[in-house]
């Protein structure tokens, strides 16, 4: 008898262990407060490239395409991937039937055409595409046709991205400055109280895609009644909010607060890796218009020390020269020989001598303390550059001043910024000739031209390796490495994954 009981108990324990903790079904209802880094400058994602605008507005507005969990383009408002003509210049996009806007009207090709034209006219990324667009026209009620001058493979990625986004809005609301925030997204705007909250509520008429959720794509479930984005500009206050469990989700926490957040009421969420800090060089004007000196900078900088100063523990960064980390399809080591984790002061000095550097012209590094890690990296870089023989002038300004000054090539030689890893390389800032840094060269034009016109995904991967080689050969920017991002969520909030632009459809609250 005793043995039987023991066997029964053992079996029961084993079953519990194999099964793991019981996972409850998603629950409908509840409100989640999301602490963000501040008040969005606008709720119109066409007119801004700010990540915060994308994070909030992606719940209200949708694009024809989006990205799946592997960062591949996947349909959202489009019914399927586009039909592309053999020469890659004509895209026919079927639209999903039954999609309605928050005002109850049905989405048709007229709305899509008007929205895309607005995007080409006022969106920063739309303008990048516009030069190559011949026409956008309806092809029936539920299809649009985009005709290009020449093949442009990144088009669907541009149509999928969520900042400076090609959102679809009713043709009747199509103004340069949006006054009505009506989209097709799972949540709709109820109230915006600046510096207090942006209140989104469930859109009852939402037409979700069928199937399972898949990254930003797939089905979008509306479990939550409301999502409120609450601006908390002070980073310490966000940390205290996470420790106290005040919010459902807290975005953009300082990475060094990991241990403190872990000891608090919320659960820390690390996005590893999140992005890459970069030193953009002014290739148009000033001392760094000289390629030899840019190569000397590339040799002089010691990314490992810079990242250690910026992020502390190796748990929070990776010393990696590839423009994309290992998990991405775009990862390649092509050209990364020039990336020296410890720097190479002797090689930098030799390059500097060869380029006849004039020490009376200091390298002006433009940075700010808006992001403390930028400043910390600048301090370390300054010492390594001095050791190589450069004169260095650190111009520390606040963020708004930096954003303005970097537009003037006469005012800086290097400016420091960072970016999340973007799903498509063509979206990277300095890939555009017009981006501050103004990198243009025959080698760039040839490499990027081939990359952008190739429509075969496998061939594009190889062509991207060629682009990365040119980036290292011409040093328009110095990629310091990879770094992680920290957020925190309530233990009750489920269905939220760490993401560069966190989203809360598919999220629910446990009781």
Partner 1 sequence: MTRVVVRRLLEMALVMAIVVTIVFVIVRIAPGDPAAMMLGPDATAKDVADLRARLGLDQSLPAQYGRYVWGLLHGDLGQSIFLARPVTQALWERAEPTFFLTLFSILIACGIALPVGILSAYRHGSVFDQITSTVAMFAASIPSFWLGLVLMQLFAVKLGWFQPSGYGGPGASLGERLNHLVLPACALGIVSSALIARFTRASMLDVLGDDYVRTARAKGMSEIRVVLLHAFKNALIPILTVIGLTAALLISGAIVTETVFGLPGVGSLVVSAVLRRDYPVIQGTLLVVAGLYVLINFIIDMLYLVVDPRVRY
Distance CA 168, CA 205 (A): 16
Q: How many residues does the chain have?
A: 511
Distance CA 314, CA 304 (A): 10
Strands 392-396 and 363-367: parallel
- We find the least distance from the C-beta atom of residue 165 to partner 1, in angstroms, to be 12
- We find the least distance from the C-beta atom of residue 30 to partner 1, in angstroms, to be 13
Alpha helices for 20-58 (secondary structure H): 51-57
- We find the least distance from the C-beta atom of residue 40 to partner 1, in angstroms, to be 8
Q: Is the dihedral of CA 199, 202, 204, 206 positive or negative?
A: positive
Contact string 400-439 vs partner 1 (x = CB under 8 A): xx-xxx-x---------x-----------x--x-xxx---
Kindly identify the residues of this chain, within the stretch 197-226, that bind partner 1 according to CB under 8 A.
197, 199
Kindly identify the residues of this chain, within the stretch 226-255, that bind partner 1 according to CB under 8 A.
228, 230-234, 236-237, 240-241, 243-244, 246
- State whether residue 483 is helix, strand or coil: strand
Nearer to partner 1, 192 or 272 (CB): 192
CB 377 within 8 A of CB 309: yes
Could you tell me which stretch among 36-44, 84-92, 355-363, 378-386 binds partner 1 (CB under 8 A)?
A: 36-44
Kindly identify the residues of this chain, within the stretch 152-171, that bind partner 1 according to CB under 8 A.
163-164
- We find the least distance from the C-beta atom of residue 127 to partner 1, in angstroms, to be 7
Using CA atoms in the order 428, 214, 322, 465, what is the torsion angle rounded to 10 degrees? -80
Among 29, 38, 97, 491, binds partner 1 (CB under 8 A): 38
Phi, psi of 41 (to 5 degrees): -65, -25
Single out the residue of 305, 319, 318 nearest to residue 384, CA to CA: 305
Nearer to partner 1, 137 or 176 (CB): 176
Among 27, 30, 42, 69, binds partner 1 (CB under 8 A): 42
Kindly identify the residues of this chain, within the stretch 356-375, that bind partner 1 according to CB under 8 A.
none
Nearer to partner 1, 199 or 468 (CB): 199
Q: Is 135 in the site for partner 1 (CB under 8 A)?
A: no
Phi, psi of 204 (to 5 degrees): -65, -25
Q: Is 39 in the site for partner 1 (CB under 8 A)?
A: yes
Nearer to partner 1, 6 or 193 (CB): 193
Nearer to partner 1, 44 or 344 (CB): 44
CB 104 within 8 A of CB 244: no
CA angle in degrees (0–180, nearest 5) for 504-508-511: 150
CA angle in degrees (0–180, nearest 5) for 210-211-213: 105
Nearer to partner 1, 328 or 438 (CB): 438
Phi, psi of 107 (to 5 degrees): -80, 130
Q: Is 98 in the site for partner 1 (CB under 8 A)?
A: no
Distance CA 294, CA 282 (A): 9
**Contact residues for partner 1, defined by CB under 8 A:** 31, 33, 38-39, 41-42, 47-51, 53, 122, 124-125, 127, 163-164, 176-177, 179, 190-197, 199, 228, 230-234, 236-237, 240-241, 243-244, 246, 264, 397-401, 403-405, 407, 417, 429, 432, 434-436
């Amino acid at each position: 008898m005793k043995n039987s009981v023991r066997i029964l108990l053992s079996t029961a324990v084993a079953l519990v262990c194999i099964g793991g903790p019981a996972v409850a079904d998603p629950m409908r209802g509840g409100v989640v407060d999301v602490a963000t880094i501040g008040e969005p400058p606008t709720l119109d994602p066409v007119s801004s490239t700010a990540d915060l605008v994308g994070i909030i507005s992606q719940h209200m507005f949708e694009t024809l395409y989006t990205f799946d969990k592997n960062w591949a383009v996947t349909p959202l408002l489009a019914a399927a991937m586009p039909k592309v003509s053999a020469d890659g210049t004509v895209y026919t996009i079927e639209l999903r039937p039954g999609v309605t806007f928050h005002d109850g009207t049905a989405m048709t090709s007229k709305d899509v055409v008007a929205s895309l034209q607005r995007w080409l006219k006022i969106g920063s990324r739309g303008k990048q595409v516009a030069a190559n667009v011949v026409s956008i026209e309806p092809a029936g009620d539920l299809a649009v046709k985009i005709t290009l001058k020449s093949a442009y493979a990144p088009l669907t990625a541009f149509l999928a991205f969520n900042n400076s986004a090609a959102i679809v809005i009713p043709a009747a609301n199509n103004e340069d400055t949006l006054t009505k925030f009506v989209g097709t997204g799972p949540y709709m705007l109820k109230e915006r109280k600046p510096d207090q909250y942006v209140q989104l509520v469930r859109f009852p008429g939402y037409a979700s895609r069928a199937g399972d959720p898949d990254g930003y794509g797939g089905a979008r479930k509306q479990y939550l009644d409301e999502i409120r984005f609450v601006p908390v500009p002070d980073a310490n206050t966000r940390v205290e909010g996470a420790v106290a469990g005040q919010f459902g989700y807290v975005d953009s926490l300082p990475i060094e607060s990991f241990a403190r957040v872990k000891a608090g009421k919320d659960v820390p969420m690390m996005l590893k890796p999140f992005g890459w800090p970069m030193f953009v060089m002014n290739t148009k004007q000033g001392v760094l218009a000289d390629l030899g000196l840019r190569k000397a900078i590339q040799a002089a900088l010691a990314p490992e020390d810079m990242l250690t100063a910026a992020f502390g523990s190796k748990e929070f960064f990776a010393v990696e020269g590839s423009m994309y980390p290992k998990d991405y399809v775009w990862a390649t080591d092509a050209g990364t020989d020039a990336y020296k984790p410890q720097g190479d002061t002797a090689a930098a000095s030799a390059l500097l001598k060869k380029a006849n550097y004039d020490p009376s012209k200091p390298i002006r590094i433009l940075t700010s303390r808006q992001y403390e890690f930028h400043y910390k990296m600048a301090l370390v870089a300054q010492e390594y550059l001095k050791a190589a023989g450069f004169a260095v002038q650190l111009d520390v300004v606040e963020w708004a001043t930096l954003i303005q000054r970097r537009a003037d090539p006469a005012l800086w030689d290097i400016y420091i910024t960072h970016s999340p890893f973007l799903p498509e390389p063509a979206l990277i800032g300095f890939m555009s000739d017009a981006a501050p840094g103004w990198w243009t060269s025959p080698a760039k034009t040839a490499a990027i031209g081939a990359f952008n016109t190739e429509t075969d995904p496998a061939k594009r991967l190889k062509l991207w390796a060629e682009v990365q080689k040119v980036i290292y050969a011409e040093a328009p920017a110095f990629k310091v490495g990879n770094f992680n991002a920290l957020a925190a969520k309530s233990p009750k909030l489920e269905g939220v994954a760490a993401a560069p632009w966190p989203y809360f459809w598919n999220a629910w609250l446990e009781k």
